[in-house]
Chain A
Amino acid sequence: MRERLRAMVPSVVPIVLSLVGCFLAVVVLRGWSVAFDAFGAMFAGAFGDWPKFVDQGNAGLVLRPLGEAGNKAAILTLTGLSVAVAFRVGLFNIGAQGQLTVGALAAAVVGAKVDLPAVVHLPLCLLAAAVAGAGWAALPAVLKTTRGVHEVISTIMMNWIAVSLVENWLVVGPLKASASGVNSISGTDQIAASAELPRLFEGGSRLNAGLVLAVLAALVVWAFFGRLTRGFGWRVVGLNPEAARAAGVEVGQVVVQAMLVAGALAGVAGAVLVLGTEQKYPTTLGAPYGFDGIAMALLGQGDALGVLVTSLVFGALRAGGTRLQLFGVHKSFPELIQGFALLLVAARLVWERLARRLLPDREPKHG
């Protein structure tokens, strides 16, 4: 228990410090009362307006915000897992953004252009997105194992190639929605109803099955690294590739496989965004979800369940962020909180030292 608490300090302390720091920033710029109201509104938008719910008994006050939070958390979890899986084998997948972009496009295309019953259509869309994401990650992986090209540089390039090709060419060119479309003609064609991720609840909440997918993915990744021999082999590659090689692990193969899995996870994140909330590939994806994955992976300390928890927290805060606009604070404010937390969590050494001081070993080690 003590061990576990100590392990959480390097994540929890930075998040709390960042929240406090960002709160003080609003105080400085807008004064105490506005800051309190703004944070109150953000938390109500994030976790539900519980006091008002108890007062009025309107379940929507709690269910609607929680649904939005869950939808955002699903995407963050999947991109976070993408980065975390790569991390575990010692790779830095900065390319989640590009993999998510091509995944989202693949889902949008298969969702709109193919006509199938929902039982096959939805899985096919998810599969297409996973394959697209994995394909986008394959090149950096191969370049790494065959040419020694560092994956950070190659995935940065792949990100911009993806965004340029998809958002500046395909979505405004060959795949642009036909003018006879239902609602607007920006972005690609609307996906068919059979490709939509089903909503989990009727009425109040817009929560969709993406969250179920994300939780399942987190559990699978957790079980793989924690319970399976093969997962142990992958971890050894990350901790000490030389030792892994000596033990007979094909390091190159593991690198490629891990990168493919990472790409597939980011691709599915794109699919969840398109099939769950956007219903098409919009002109632009809006938030840099792929880069957010880096934050989630690090705040969750590369652990699948840690990623899930931090994604739930920040998914909620970001859902609540939309309510800040009323207080003269930009809706991307939660991203600032997240960014500062990431910056702080990067200073691991400091927090580990702090954790040891806060929660020292009970029995002295030597007599």
Chain B
Amino acid sequence: MGELLRSLVSSVLDAAPPLIFAALGATLSERSGVVNVGVEGMMRAGAFVAAVAALAMPTPLAVVVGMAAGALVASVHAVLTIRLRCDQVVSGMAINLVMLALGTFLLEALFSSPSSTPPITQLPGWAGHPVTTWLAFALPVLVHLALTRTAWGLRVRAAGEKPQAVAVMGVRVGWLRAGAVLASGALAGLGGAVLSTATLDRFEHHMPTGLGFMAVAAMVFGRWTPLGATAAAVFFAFGDALRISLGSSAPGLMPQGVLLALPYLLTLVVLAVSGQRSAAPAALGVAWDPEVR
């Protein structure tokens, strides 16, 4: 039993970080009032770019480049939703579709391979786990403090709840939201980069395999708070680790597909019980137009 628990904890420590980073990213963006269902695409950008960059530079640096790629993709989302006031869900889904196809296209075009990039040196570890694992425990606290204890955090939250109030203070809602969206993209990019440089040692064509959507689920499950989203991400990762170990130790106990569906089912149940309006930021999804108040 102790053995099983230890291996479970170990696999959670490996599986949770990408989800935690992406869920934190989604939370930041949505707390500022911008829906971000493009997390999946931003993660894919981070995963691909980090794996490619690591061919030419030290892996830790490549992870930073991956984050920049995530932020770059997020900047498209920011321009479309904030400057051009597009539908935020449309923009996010468009980003997902583009990144899905672009990743496959570049993989084929640059490496003549339909499946993966060449292997790279993985991220260095500390105490048996990649450094990013330990970062994944520190970052949620930092984001929580930034959102609740700093003037910037107060403004970001206000931009998501009542942007008029922020505008009246003389702070520009658009720039505030753009900052949150860019940070969100960088975090999603980091999550993706962890997949291709720490979890594995290459970019694979299916990455991130829906993890971005699961991060959105974790954010909703965690009621749009950094610590809640992190807890949900750890919970989902734990469920997944349990699924994998049960699958090998007691096959047939519960079909894999049913277990795979559980996190999403639970999120639905939580939403159904609590209702969404109570937790989501009030101005979420509403474009800020200074001329229409």
Contact = CB atoms under 8 A, between A and B. Distances in A.
Interface string A297-325: 01000000000000000000000000000
B255 A152 contact: no
Nearest to B276: A149
Interface in A309-367: 328-330, 332-333, 335-336, 338-340, 342-343, 346-350
Given A157-B217, A338-B97, A343-B76, A164 B272 contact: no
Interface string B94-116: 11111111101101111010100
A148 B265 contact: no
Contacts of A350: 84
Interface stretch (B52-60, B85-93, B141-149): B85-93
A148 B275 contact: yes
A148 B80 CA distance: 27
B276 A147 contact: yes
B93 A291 contact: yes
B173 interface: no
Contacts of B271: 143, 147, 149, 153-154
Contact of B91 (A143, A173, A330, A346): A346
A160 B220 contact: no
A76 to B, nearest CB: 13
Interface string B216-253: 11001000000000000000000000000000000000
Interface stretch (B11-19, B125-133, B186-194, B256-264): B256-264
B213 interface: yes
Q: Interface range on chain A: under 10, 10 to 19, 20 to 34, or 35 or more?
A: 35 or more
Given A94-B93, A156-B213, A346-B91, A336 B86 contact: no
A29 interface: yes
Interface in A268-305: 288, 291-292, 294-295, 298
Q: Interface range on chain B: under 10, 10 to 19, 20 to 34, or 35 or more?
A: 35 or more
A109 to B, nearest CB: 16
Contacts of B118: none
A160 B112 contact: no
Contact of B97 (A328, A330, A342): A342
B95 A149 contact: no
A227 interface: no
B94 A346 contact: yes
A85 B236 CA distance: 34
Contact of B108 (A149, A330, A340, A348): A330
Given A160-B264, A165-B257, A350-B84, A30 B90 contact: no
Pairs of residues from A and B, 7 with the lowest C-beta to C-beta distance, nearest first: A169-B257, A168-B257, A339-B98, A336-B101, A164-B260, A164-B261, A330-B108
Given A154-B268, A339-B102, 8 more contacts: A147-B271, A159-B213, A298-B90, A330-B109, A332-B104, A336-B101, A342-B90, A342-B98
22 contacts: A30-B109, A149-B271, A149-B272, A150-B276, A153-B216, A153-B276, A154-B271, A156-B213, A156-B216, A157-B264, A157-B268, A160-B260, A164-B258, A170-B257, A291-B97, A292-B97, A328-B109, A335-B101, A339-B101, A343-B76, A346-B84, A349-B86
